Amino acid sequence: MKHFLGTALMVGALAGCIGPEDTPPEENACGAAQMQALIGTPVAAQDFSNSAAAVRILPPGAMMTMDHRPDRLNIEHDSGGVITRIWCG
């Protein structure tokens, strides 16, 4: 168990070192890797209409389909309207 936990922590730490240029193309088909700097900013202050990808903005507790669409940009925000997560899928 100790070995598994240590490995999981190491993998988690290494995952934080991956930048947009290291993101596999299929995981960045919507351009989310380049938008990570928007995390922590107000969603209302952003204009995603110029995005080539389909955009899905998700408020807290929003229900979403579980179909995986690599070309879809997902923007999740908290109750204060601050972006908390950006990903493709």
pLDDT tens-place string over residues 6-19:
444 444 444 455 45
Give me the CATH topology for the region 24-88: Trypsin Inhibitor V; Chain A (3.30.10)
At residue 24, the pLDDT reads 62
Query: How many C-beta atoms surround the C-beta of residue 2 within 10 A?
Result: 6
At residue 11, the pLDDT reads 45
Alpha carbons 9 and 23: distance in angstroms, whole number? 20
Q: Is the torsion defined by CA of 27, 28, 29, 32 positive or negative?
A: positive
* 89 vs 13, higher pLDDT: 89
- Write the burial class of residue 77 (CB in 10 Å: 0-12 exposed, 13-18 middle, 19+ buried): buried
Query: Residue 72 pLDDT > 50, yes or no?
Result: yes
pLDDT tens-place string over residues 16-55:
554 555 656 667 889 999 999 999 999 999 998 887 779 9
At residue 17, the pLDDT reads 52
